[in-house]
Amino acid sequence: MKNRRKRRDAIVSICAIGVIAITATVIVSATKQADKPKREATESAPPTYATASPTVTPEATTPRPIGTPQPTPTPQLPYTESDVIMLAQTVWGEARGCAPEEQRLVVWTILQRVDADEWGDTIEAVITARGQFAGYDKGFPIEPEIYALCAEEAAKWANGEAPPILAPYATAAPYYFFDGDGRHNWYREGWR
């Protein structure tokens, strides 16, 4: 529960920072447009586009009045690109022959274990825990489709979304274990 709250707070902070950055970009862009001399009607003006980050102006570097809130620091996501790569390699090793919906369940098995904090408190710790994911190898390929799927599911997890249920493979959450027959995996809370 504590990890989910941290992730939710991090996502809210990221969204707030994004809104502030976009607003500042629009204001700076509008100010620059207002300062430009008007063109004659015969001249066509090139389109202007908002930039991804605001331009630093002297006004932006002046001290804020007392009582003005400090900008919120960028929060850390509960996972890294390295974690997503490890997830993709694990999915490749454990479920590369399964449908994407079933591959998502492998990712969520790992993420639920992180939340449970019984096998480790990071994605790397859970994946590399002794005797747990035989399908992981750092030499496995990173297929773009599987990587994208893992990144999407990690973002959902960071957002506090619930693990997916997919009958008949995963009929209830949480699920911490799975085994399979080479075509499908079945997910459950306890080991047999």
pLDDT by residue for the chain (192 residues), tens only, comes to: 555 556 556 554 554 454 454 544 545 454 455 454 444 444 444 444 333 333 444 444 556 567 767 666 656 677 899 999 999 999 999 999 899 999 999 999 999 999 999 999 999 999 999 999 989 999 999 999 999 999 999 999 999 999 999 999 999 999 999 998 888 999 999 987
pLDDT of residue 26: 45
pLDDT of residue 17: 53
What does pTM read for this prediction?
Answer: 0.61
Intra-chain end-to-end CA distance of the chain, in Å: 26
Nearest to 7 by CA among 161, 176, 173, 164: 161
CB atoms within 10 A of CB 93: 16
Alpha carbon distances (Å) from 46 to 54, 131, 173? 20, 61, 54
pLDDT of residue 44: 46
Beta-bridge mates of residue 190? none
pLDDT of residue 28: 44
